[in-house]
Every structure is written in C-alpha cells, then in structure tokens.
Amino acid sequence: MQKRSIDKRALSAILESGIERLVLVIDRDAREKLIGYLELLHKWNRVYNLTAIREPHEMVVHHLLDSLAILPYVNGDRWLDVGSGAGLPGMVLAIARPDWHVTMLDSNSKKTGFLQQAAIELGLTNAEIKCTRVEDLGVEQKYDSIVSRAFAELGDFLRITRHLIATDGRWFAMKGLPERELLDIPDDCLVEEIIALDVPDLHAARSLVIARVREEEAA
C-alpha cells in the first residue's frame, strides 16, 4: 500500500487560520518550521508511536494550535518543558519564539531521540533536549518558566519541579478542567490565575493554570 503524502498547503491553511483567530504574531519562517515539525512528527509516529493522533490535519489543531494558544499568557526567557513527549508544547514554543531558550525533558529515549533529530533538521539553536527523570535533573541556573501538558496532576507537577523554578518564576500547566486538581496544591505554592483557552476547531475544554512560589517562601 502506498503511503499517503501530507498535503502541506491544506495544513498550512489550517495553521494560518488558527494563528489569525488566536491573534498571534508568528513570522513566515516559524510558520514553515511548524509545518516541518508536523511532517517529522507524522513520519516518526509510524514507527515510534509518539502520539495517538494520526491524521495530520488533527495534529495541526490538537498539537500546534493547542500549544500556540498559551502564547498570549506566558513569558520568560529560559523554559523547561517537563514530560515533553513529542515536543508539546516545547518544540512549538521554541519554533514560535526563537528568542526563548527551551529545554525539553523526557525520560523516554525514543521520544528524546525524535526531539533531537527534529531540532537538528529544523535548525533550532534555542532548543535543548535532556533524557532523564525530572527528579534527577540538576541545573546551575533555575528556569524562569516551567510548562507541562498532560505530564502529571497539578500538585505533583509543582512538587517535583520545585527545585528547578527560579525565585520569581512561574509554572504553566496546560489542563482540561483543573478544578479537582486545585485541592492538592503544595502549601508553599500559589495559583495566580486560571485562564480558559479557546483553541480554534478544538471541541474540548482547555485551560492554563499559572502558579508561583508564595512570596514568604521565596524570600
């Protein structure tokens, strides 16, 4: 059976429309790299099962646009994407914001192998890949921003990355409906805001939980 090729023009149209609806500023080079990343993901997914979503047009919505939707609400120069998997949202952020340094962390060597190859092929000099458990990660300079997408429940996410967050840093947890998880927030952490996200053509609840270390603990 002949493998069906990706319709880059159709995928680009979905991406362009979504970026416009999200009111984002993303230059032409980055948009092309986002489609290039999706092509690589689709190719590698046949062998390594990086994502359960197989159809490229669904990947644009569920992966690219879902990751891009947090951009209006996040900041920071040094990023850590915990449990990055296939690079979501880390690879998307690194492409869309080349002035950010994005470290993608995952303990699965097949997934980090894909991320390393994708970063090379896409020419991403601002992307760093680490294959280890987050509990074992040590850094000289802590991160301004730590993000996760379906890595762990909120309380666990904050606890196991506590040693990696800068004093004035922020956690960004991408969730569906996070209310139940708010009951397990560590005492030294504070949820600043919960933002409902409207991801174009994604018919599911999405939200972004923003948290920080309590001021009295950071002092």
What does the pLDDT look like over 112-161, one tens digit per residue? 999 999 999 999 999 999 999 999 999 999 999 999 998 999 999 999 99
pLDDT (0 to 100) of residue 217: 65
Q: Do the domain assignments include residue 2? A: no
Q: Do the domain assignments include residue 73? A: yes
Q: Do the domain assignments include residue 12? A: yes
Number of domains in the chain: 1
With cut-offs at 50, 70 and 90, classify the pLDDT of residue 2: very low
Which tens digit of pLDDT belongs to each residue from 77-118? 999 999 999 999 999 999 999 999 999 999 999 999 999 999
Q: How far is 96 from 190, CA to CA, in rounded Å?
A: 28
- Sheet containing 206-213: give its strands across: 127-131, 101-106, 78-82, 143-149, 165-175, 206-213, 189-197
In the predicted model, what is the mean pLDDT of residues 190-211? 97
Q: Do the domain assignments include residue 105? A: yes
Q: Do the domain assignments include residue 3? A: no
As given in the structure block, the two tokens for residue 170 are 């922020």
Comparing 194 with 150, the larger pLDDT belongs to 194
pLDDT (0 to 100) of residue 21: 98
As given in the structure block, the two tokens for residue 82 are 């915990």
Q: Do the domain assignments include residue 67? A: yes
118 lies in which domain range? 8-218
Q: Do the domain assignments include residue 134? A: yes
Amino acid at the residue 42: H
Q: Do the domain assignments include residue 114? A: yes
With cut-offs at 50, 70 and 90, classify the pLDDT of residue 218: low
**Core vs surface per residue 153-174: b (16+ CB within 10 A) or e:** ebeebbbbbeebbbeebbbbbb
3-class SS of residue 104: strand
Domain of residue 119, CATH code: 3.40.50.150
Alpha helices in the chain (DSSP H): 8-22, 28-48, 56-59, 66-68, 90-96, 109-122, 154-160, 215-218
With cut-offs at 50, 70 and 90, classify the pLDDT of residue 177: very high
